[in-house]
Each structure stands twice: as structure tokens, then as C-alpha cells.
């Protein structure tokens, strides 16, 4: 089978398509999926470059967001059939620790992300445990493929942890990125008032064009003031920050008293100074998300099945052989929504 196998961390040249033989033996609780689409995440860049501080091992097949068709199944798999379209939960806990048994797999000490800690979907086939899989409609397979990491993380951060509701006003940094757009879609579906921050007028236009009904702020030095102006100087209930160093202090300033900061990424760097007075003075709650649990996955997939208009926006679909171009597109950062590999 054809797969992209990362042998060494580094530049785009490290992404090479290889042909390997497939292990045909399935355990009784496993299924084999013919990968149809695999969406990119920022995580794929972190894996390729290395040095994230996470324990990573190579060689590795990247790719966490996978949709495809079942081509084979183990003897204990009774609820799924060959030919069905499925989406894969891109996480795997040990299955027996207190976190796993309590439904908090992402807090398991042995939690592994598919396409990061174990082999993923830049490949024609993937074998996974039957518990990681849910059936999805065959229509819109490419949009479904772009759901897992972004929507599970946004759901865990906003719904499970920040308890976002229809009375909340929410700020989303990078509202046209993979995670940001997922968050905006979920928040709109819930009925919260959304303020999306974007990096350019073009990105603002895209949101308007794509039916985004919230306020849009093009980021500048006055971004905190802009948010205050939009909220009668009060600040917002919830901020989703996945940008890190460049936005952390601004996020704290944008929140109203009693506000919640949902934090889940460090695109611009992991270390920054904090004026700690904001945290206790405004009685803020800060939560962190590392992807999300299987329950987040199931909940957000069910939520989307009834709201297909909230599925991700697909920016570009490239062939597996063009994986380098796909990474370079994401690295450039001009994209809106998701970049996919068609396999
Ligand atoms: N914790 C988790 O489990 C988890 C899960 C998913 C993603 N993440 C993290 O979340 C981040 C985004 O991931 P993604 O896949 O959505 O990537 P992406 O599609 O490349 O989006 C990146 C976004 O970051 C914004 N951005 C970049 N520089 C910025 C700056 N200086 N100020 C404000 N915004 C800036 C961009 O928005 P504009 O240019 O429009 O402002 C863009 O929308 C990554 O760091 C990723 O690792 C974490
Ligand atoms: Zn565990």
C-alpha cells in the first residue's frame, strides 16, 4: 500500500510516498479502513518539524483526520459492515486506567493521537480498534474527513469544559482556520453570539460570504478595544485561544468578570508573561484541552449529522503525492478552512 512515511523530522522534503506490504492479519476487535480522505491539521506540521516537547517516535505515518470505507473486520465486530463509510476517533487510551474507564481518554497517561503518536491516514489503508469508529453518511465524505481533530477539540473546549450556551458571547481567534472555523460553526449551532477575529480583510470577506452571522474583527493593535466596543465595554463570556504567545494577554483582557478562557494551542509560541491580577481580579476560569474524549467525538458527530450546514469548509483537495504542497499551503497560512489529501 502507498503511504507517506516520515523517517526524520525536518523540512517538507522529509514527506515521501513509499510502497509497503500490508499486514493482512486483523485482531478480532479491529477493522481495516480504505482511507478516502485525510485532512491536514497544524499538528501535522508540529510532527514533521519535531521538537514539540512531546515524546515522538519515528518512522511515523502522519494524518489524524480520516474518513473511509470498511474493507475488512475482525471476528468480534458485529455492529459494522464491510462497505460502510466511517469516521475515526483519532485517539487511543490504554483502556483500563481511571481516566479511560471514566470516559476521559485524553487524560490517560498513555493517550496516543493517531497520526502523531501512532500511524495515521496519509496512507491507502489504516487498521483501528472498532471502538474508535463511527458510521457516517457516504455523502460529503470529504467534509466529514475534516471534522475530527478540529471539531472534537472545539467541542471539548467550548461545550464540555466552558459550558458554552446561547446567552454567551464568544471570541474566537483565527476564526477561518481549521480549529477556529469548527469553533465558530459549533457556537453558531448552539446559538451563542460569536465574534470572530481574523488576520485579513479577505478572511473577513470569506466569513461573510460563507454565511457567518456573527461580528468580525480584523486583528490590529486595537483588537482588545474593538472587542470592548462591541460589548458595551463589558468584555466577553468566553475566549477560544489557540494562538498562544501573541494572544494570551489580550485574551485575558477581553474577558468579562467571571469569564472563561478555553485554551488549546501555541501557534505563535509557548512562553509569555502574564499579569496575574486579571485571573483573580476578574475571577476567570482557564481550561486546557488536548483534543477531546470519545464522548466529545460522538456528541459532535451527532450534532453535525443534524446540522450538515455546519460541516467544515474545504479549501483545497490534493493527491497523496502532493503532500509537500499541502504542508506548504498550511505553513503559508493564507488558507481558510481545511486542506485535504485525497487518497
Ligand atoms: N489542543 C489541541 O488538541 C489542538 C487541536 C487542534 C489544533 N490545535 C492547535 O491550534 C492551532 C490552530 O490549529 P489549526 O489546525 O486550526 O491551524 P490553521 O488552520 O493553520 O489555523 C491557524 C490559525 O492561527 C491564526 N493565527 C496565526 N498567527 C496568528 C497571530 N499572530 N494572531 C492571531 N491569530 C493567528 C490564523 O488566523 P488569522 O491569520 O486569520 O488571524 C489561523 O486561522 C495550532 O497551534 C494547533 O496545534 C490544538
Ligand atoms: Zn488509560
In which band, very low, low, confident or very high, does the pLDDT at 21 lie, cut at 50, 70 and 90? confident
Give the nearest ligand 1 atom to 175 CA.
Answer: 43
284 plus 334 within the same structural domain? no
11 plus 128 within the same structural domain? yes
Q: What angle do CA 13, 19, 20 make, to 5 degrees?
A: 120
pLDDT of res. 199 = 96
Give the Cα separation of 130 and 197 in Å (integer): 39
**Number of domains composing the chain:** 2
pLDDT at 10 over 80: yes
142 plus 155 within the same structural domain? no
16 plus 135 within the same structural domain? yes
Instruction: Give per-residue pLDDT as tens, 227-247.
Output: 999 999 999 999 999 999 999
Q: Whose CA is nearest to atom 48 of ligand 1?
A: 265
Q: Strand 314-319 and strand 236-241: pairing?
A: unpaired
In a domain, 181, yes or no: yes
**H-helix segments, 57-113:** 98-101
Report which of 303, 256, 1, 277 is spatially closest to residue 134, judged by C-alpha positions.
303
In which band, very low, low, confident or very high, does the pLDDT at 23 lie, cut at 50, 70 and 90? confident
> What's the average model confidence in pLDDT over 5-14?
97
Instruction: Give per-residue pLDDT as tens, 122-168.
Output: 999 999 999 999 999 999 999 999 999 999 999 999 999 999 999 99
pLDDT at 316 over 90: yes
Q: Strand 236-241 and strand 255-263: pairing?
A: parallel
For 199, the grid coordinates are 488576520
pLDDT at 211 over 90: no
In a domain, 300, yes or no: no
Q: Establish whether residue 3 lines the binding site of ligand 1, counting it when its CB lies within 6 angstroms of any ligand atom.
A: no
> What's the average model confidence in pLDDT over 56-80?
97
Residue with cell 479491529: 30
Q: Rounded to the nearest whole angstrom, what is the distance from the C-alpha of residue 90 to the centroid of ligand 2?
A: 15
pLDDT at 313 over 90: yes
CATH number at residue 160: 3.90.180.10
pLDDT of res. 179 = 96
Q: Rounded to the nearest whole angstrom, what is the distance from the C-alpha of residue 294 to the centroid of ligand 2?
A: 12
CA dist 312 → 37, 148, 174, 223, 330 (Å): 14, 10, 15, 26, 16
Give the Cα separation of 219 and 224 in Å (integer): 9
Give the Cα separation of 190 and 135 in Å (integer): 24
Task: Give residues with Cβ within 8 angstroms of 120, minimum separation 6.
Answer: 38, 60, 61, 62, 63, 64, 66, 90, 114, 126
23 plus 133 within the same structural domain? yes
9 plus 85 within the same structural domain? yes
Instruction: Give per-residue pLDDT as tens, 173-182.
Output: 999 999 999 9
In which band, very low, low, confident or very high, does the pLDDT at 52 lie, cut at 50, 70 and 90? confident
Contact 214, 194 (CB under 8 A): yes
Q: Phi, psi at residue 325, to the nearest 5°? A: -65, -40
Task: Give residues with Cβ within 8 angstroms of 102, minimum separation 6.
Answer: none
3-state secondary structure of 222: coil
Instruction: Give per-residue pLDDT as tens, 89-103.
Output: 999 999 999 999 999
122 plus 161 within the same structural domain? no
135 plus 166 within the same structural domain? no
pLDDT at 112 over 80: yes
pLDDT of res. 27 = 96
Please, what is the end-to-end C-alpha distance for the chain in angstroms?
Answer: 11
pLDDT at 53 over 90: no
Run of H or E including 264: none
Owning domain of residue 140: 2-147+311-342
How many helices (H) and strands (E) would you count in the chain?
Answer: 11, 17
3-state secondary structure of 195: strand
Task: Output the pTM of the full model.
Answer: 0.96
124 plus 165 within the same structural domain? no
pLDDT of res. 55 = 85
Q: Establish whether residue 337 lines the binding site of ligand 1, counting it when its CB lies within 6 angstroms of any ligand atom.
A: no
Q: For the chain, what is the mean pLDDT? A: 96
Q: What angle do CA 51, 180, 158 make, to 5 degrees?
A: 100
Give the Cα separation of 340 and 178 in Å (integer): 11
For 307, the grid coordinates are 446540522
Q: Rounded to the nearest whole angstrom, what is the distance from the C-alpha of residue 109 to the centroid of ligand 2?
A: 6
> What's the average model confidence in pLDDT over 263-288?
97
Ligand nearest the Cα of residue 204 is: 1
18 plus 102 within the same structural domain? yes
Amino acid at each position: 500500500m502507498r503511504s507517506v512515511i516520515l523517517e526524520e523530522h525536518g523540512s517538507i522534503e522529509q514527506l515521501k510516498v513509499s510502497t509497503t506490504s500490508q499486514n493482512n492479519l486483523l485482531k478480532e476487535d479491529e477493522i481495516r479502513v480504505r482511507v478516502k480522505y485525510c485532512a491536514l491539521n497544524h499538528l501535522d506540521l508540529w510532527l514533521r518539524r519535531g521538537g514539540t516537547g512531546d515524546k515522538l517516535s519515528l518512522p511515523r505515518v502522519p494524518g489524524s483526520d480520516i474518513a473511509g470505507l470498511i474493507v475488512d473486520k475482525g471476528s468480534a465486530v458485529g455492529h459494522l459492515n464491510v462497505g460502510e463509510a466511517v469516521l475515526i476517533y483519532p485517539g487511543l487510551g490504554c483502556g483500563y486506567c481511571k481516566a479511560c474507564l471514566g470516559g476521559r481518554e485524553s487524560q490517560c497517561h498513555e493517550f496516543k493521537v493517531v497520526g502523531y503518536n501512532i500511524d495515521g491516514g496519509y496512507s491507502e489503508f489504516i487498521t483501528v480498534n472498532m471502538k474508535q469508529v463511527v458510521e457516517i453518511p457516504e455523502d460529503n465524505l470529504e467534509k466529514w474527513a475534516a471534522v475530527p481533530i478540529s471539531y472534537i477539540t472545539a467541542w471539548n473546549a467550548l461545550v464540555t469544559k466552558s459550558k458554552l450556551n446561547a446567552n454567551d458571547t464568544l471570541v474566537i481567534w483565527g476564526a477561518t482556520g481549521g480549529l477556529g472555523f469548527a469553533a465558530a460553526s459549533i457556537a453558531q449551532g448552539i446559538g451563542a453570539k460569536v465574534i470572530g477575529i481574523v488576520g485579513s480583510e479577505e478572511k473577513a470577506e470569506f466569513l461573510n460570504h460563507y454565511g457567518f452571522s456573527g461580528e468580525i474583527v480584523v486583528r490590529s493593535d486595537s483588537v482588545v478595544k474593538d472587542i470592548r466596543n462591541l460589548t458595551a465595554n463589558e468584555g466577553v463570556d468566553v475566549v477560544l485561544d489557540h494562538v498562544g504567545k501573541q494572544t494570551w494577554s489580550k485574551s485575558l483582557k477581553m474577558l468579562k468578570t467571571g469569564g472563561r478562557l478555553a485554551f488549546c494551542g501555541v501557534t505563535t509560541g509557548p512562553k509569555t508573561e502574564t499579569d496575574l491580577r486579571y485571573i483573580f481580579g476578574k475571577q476567570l476560569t482557564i481550561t486546557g484541552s488536548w483534543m477531546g474524549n470519545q464522548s466529545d467525538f460522538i456528541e459532535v458527530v451527532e450534532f453535525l449529522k443534524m446540522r450538515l450546514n455546519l460541516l467544515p469548509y474545504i479549501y483545497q483537495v490534493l493527491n497523496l503525492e502532493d503532500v509537500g504542497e499541502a504542508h506548504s499551503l498550511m505553513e503559508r497560512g493564507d488558507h481558510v478552512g481545511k486542506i485535504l489529501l485525497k487518497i
